[in-house]
């Protein structure tokens, strides 16, 4: 888990280009989240914690939800405001939500819990602002076992070896998954877990190396700058040994899953 707040302002300029869902997956994700929310209210009001540039929130609003968002990254929120002026956003931390109790029909976390110092505290804060009978929702993507995933694991192994420290856990979503499951059990609600969308992503070794060098993804932010040239050199050798060509296209199956739990009435 992260030990400090991670603001995505450093990648606001490329966030949408590097994290966008394919159109069909985007529609399926919005539809699936709306199904869960409409079990509470036909026109639900949902708080997205870590709303960012609105990658999830904008399609959700277009699907019929009233969306409110919080984030700690002003540059990310500026990107959202450039798209939509009708989504109310506040700069706030996930554990210090500035809303009265029972304000929302649901609270949504997507690709956020694993970044927080205390995922449980964020879930408790969200529970406070969701009305009785409302829902907590936790969505994330999962990349299947593939050469690309092996490459990411090798990058983590090399980074640990070069630094002598644990920089990024191998299964970096596992603790967030556990936190949501534990919180759901504490609430006494039924936990559901459904796959909303699946698709294939394409990448090349050269592209992955470039993204790592530019620190596009948060998993690379803890790698000391002094280690990056040697890490990239060793990874280049590994990719050439495994793939034979830095420009060979590597395909990975990706799924988007949604966990939900209903609060007691």
State which CATH number among 3.40.50.720, 3.40.50.2300, 3.40.50.150, 3.40.190.150 fits the domain covering 8-143+169-200+255-262: 3.40.50.150
Q: Which helix (H) or strand (E) holds 106?
A: strand 104-110
* pLDDT given for residue 2 in this prediction: 37
User: pLDDT tier at 57 (50, 70, 90 boundaries)?
Assistant: very high
What is the pairing mode between strands 104-110 and 45-49? parallel
Mean predicted lDDT score pLDDT of the chain: 92
Q: Which two tokens stand for residue 253?
A: 């199956």
CA atoms within 13 A on the CB side of 256: 27
Please determine, for residue 258, whether its predicted confidence score (pLDDT) is greater than 90: yes
Would you state the structure tokens that stand for residue 131, as one six-digit string? 């009305």
The mean pLDDT value for 53-60 works out to: 97
Total residues belonging to the chain: 265
Confidence at 149, pLDDT banded by 50, 70, 90: confident
Cα–Cα distances (Å) from 50 to 54, 93, 180, 246, 252, in that order, read 9, 9, 16, 34, 26
Question: What number is the average pLDDT over the span 117-125?
Answer: 96
Question: Are the beta carbons of 28 and 59 closer than 8 angstroms?
Answer: no
Residue boundaries of the structural domains of the chain: 8-143+169-200+255-262
Q: 64 or 156, which is more confident?
A: 64
The pTM of the full predicted model, rounded to 2 decimals, is: 0.92
In this prediction, residues 252-256 reach a mean pLDDT of 95
Cα 80 from Cα 65, distance rounded (Å) = 16
pLDDT digits (tens, 9 = 90+) for 69-115: 999 999 999 999 999 999 999 999 999 999 999 999 999 999 999 99
């Amino acid at each position: 888990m992260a030990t400090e707040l991670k603001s995505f302002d450093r990648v606001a300029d490329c966030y949408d280009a590097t994290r966008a869902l394919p159109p069909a997956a985007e529609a399926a994700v919005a539809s699936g989240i709306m199904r869960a929310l409409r079990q509470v209210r036909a026109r639900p009001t949902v708080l997205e914690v870590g709303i960012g540039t609105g990658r999830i929130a904008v399609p959700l609003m277009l699907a019929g939800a009233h969306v409110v968002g919080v984030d700690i990254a002003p540059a990310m929120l500026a990107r959202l405001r450039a798209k939509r002026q009708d989504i109310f956003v506040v700069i706030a931390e996930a554990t210090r939500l500035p809303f009265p109790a029972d304000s929302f029909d649901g609270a949504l976390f997507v690709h956020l819990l694993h970044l927080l110092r205390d995922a449980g505290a964020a879930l408790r804060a969200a529970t406070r602002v969701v009305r009785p009978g409302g829902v907590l929702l936790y969505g994330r993507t999962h990349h299947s076992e593939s050469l690309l995933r092996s490459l990411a694991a090798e990058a983590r192994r090399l980074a640990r070896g070069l630094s002598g420290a644990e920089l990024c856990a191998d299964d970096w979503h596992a603790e967030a998954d556990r936190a949501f499951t534990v919180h759901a059990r504490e609430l006494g609600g039924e936990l559901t877990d459904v796959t909303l969308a699946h698709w294939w992503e394409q990448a090349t070794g050269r592209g992955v190396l470039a993204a790592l060098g530019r620190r596009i993804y948060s998993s690379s932010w803890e790698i000391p700058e002094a280690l990056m040239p040697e890490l990239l050199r060793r990874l280049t050798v590994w990719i050439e040994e495994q793939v034979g060509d830095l420009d060979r296209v590597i395909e990975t199956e990706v799924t988007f899953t949604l966990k939900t739990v209903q609060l007691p009435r």
